[in-house]
């Protein structure tokens, strides 16, 4: 059975493997064991309630219970931009006109902004290639919203997600090569690593102070602004199915889009119901449902059949064991 469960220090080897497989541009999964170890410590302390709620970064793993294989990762940051700025480019349309020559023009510009301070972020969604079919990606993606819905007061009323921008098959990044690198004269990987591990002062020091006119950029750079890496297209579709939409912001390094949705308008958060657990040898249900525990501290999620009658959710013993719940406990169910 596939289960989504909290990540902790014991997952370092699994997380490093996923980071290597994720490839360039996946900012939240650097191929750095020290950074990954710190992240797993932060995840452990977040789930255990040791941190200020706004400082929490919850990381979850997709595990096959029969084999112990870990095949995917996802995360929820309770708040971004509090200790380090959350920089983006905003795509702005400026209209200029001259009645004397009967000309009206729309010019798009990129403007450096720091607009999303305090927002929650869902991210780090990555699965091994052989797990990208059969609903595993949807389970992992939706588990993050079940986590938010379990205790929504721990998260901001606005939720965002950043998607990786376009890279060429040889690992090149058109937007970085033609635009960002002009301001940050270093390898992409170094800038990416510094963005995730420092206070981002180097961005404030070096980023453009004035709007960048999109029309003046080389075509390879213009073509990828706001576009998603091919591997991120399924993730974008999952986000859109939950109600996320582009909000006009793009990543300053690879030009990948940012999407956002109100916390309480995320479909899975809105539609999941809190129910009391009953356990039976046989469960009558046509289709499996998304089921999670009812709190962040002991969070786990699966997609299995559940019998629903009133406010009672009847689970099989195997499902209850995977969730580590017993009769009388509270779970959340989204049919």
- Tens of pLDDT along the chain (335 residues) come to 999 999 999 999 999 999 999 876 677 788 889 989 999 999 999 999 999 999 999 999 999 998 999 999 999 999 999 988 899 999 999 998 889 988 898 999 999 999 999 999 999 899 998 888 888 999 999 999 999 999 999 999 999 999 999 999 888 999 999 999 999 999 998 898 888 777 788 998 999 999 999 999 999 999 999 999 988 898 899 999 999 999 999 999 999 999 999 999 999 999 999 999 999 988 988 889 999 999 999 999 999 999 999 999 999 999 999 999 999 999 999 98
14 given a catalytic annotation: no
User: Is the separation of the CB atoms in 78 and 155 below 8 Å?
Assistant: yes
- Which alpha helices (DSSP H) does 199-282 contain, by range? 201-206, 219-222, 233-242, 267-271
Name the residue among 191, 162, 198 with its Cα closest to residue 177.
191
3-state helix, strand, coil in the chain (%, to 5): 35, 30, 35
Q: How open is the CA angle 264-268-274, to the nearest 5 degrees? A: 90
Side-chain half-sphere exposure of 310, counting CA atoms within 13 A: 5
Catalytic residue among 181, 210, 229, 282: 229
């Amino acid at each position: 059975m596939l289960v989504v469960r909290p990540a902790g220090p014991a997952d370092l080897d699994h997380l490093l493997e996923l980071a290597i497989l994720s490839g360039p541009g996946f900012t939240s999964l650097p191929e750095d064991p020290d950074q990954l170890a710190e992240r797993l410590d932060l995840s452990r302390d977040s789930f255990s309630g040791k941190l200020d709620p706004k400082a929490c970064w919850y990381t979850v793993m997709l595990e096959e219970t029969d084999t112990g294989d870990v095949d995917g990762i996802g995360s929820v940051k309770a708040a971004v931009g509090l200790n380090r700025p959350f920089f983006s480019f905003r795509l702005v349309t400026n209209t200029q006109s001259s009645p004397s020559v009967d000309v009206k023009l729309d010019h798009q510009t990129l403007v450096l902004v720091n607009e999303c301070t305090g927002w929650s972020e869902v991210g780090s969604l990555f699965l091994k290639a052989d797990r990208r079919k059969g609903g595993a990606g949807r389970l992992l993606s939706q588990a993050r919203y079940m986590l938010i819905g379990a205790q929504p007061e721990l998260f901001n009323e606005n939720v965002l997600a950043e998607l990786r921008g376009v890279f060429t098959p040889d690992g090149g990044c058109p937007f970085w090569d033609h635009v960002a690198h002009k301001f940050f004269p270093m390898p992409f990987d170094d800038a990416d690593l510094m963005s995730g591990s420092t206070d981002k002062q180097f961005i404030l020091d070096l980023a453009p102070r004035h709007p960048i006119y999109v029309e003046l950029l080389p075509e390879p750079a213009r073509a990828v602004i706001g576009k998603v890496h091919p591997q991120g297209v399924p993730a974008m579709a999952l986000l859109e199915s939950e109600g996320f939409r582009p909000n006009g912001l793009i990543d300053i390094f690879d030009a990948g889009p940012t999407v956002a949705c109100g916390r309480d308008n995320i479909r899975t958060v809105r539609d999941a119901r809190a129910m009391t657990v009953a356990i039976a040898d046989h469960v009558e249900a046509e289709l499996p449902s998304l089921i999670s525990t009812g709190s962040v501290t002991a969070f786990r999620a699966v997609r299995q059949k559940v019998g629903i009658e009133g406010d009672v959710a009847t689970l099989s013993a195997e499902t209850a064991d995977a969730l580590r719940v017993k009769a009388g406990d509270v779970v959340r169910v989204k049919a």
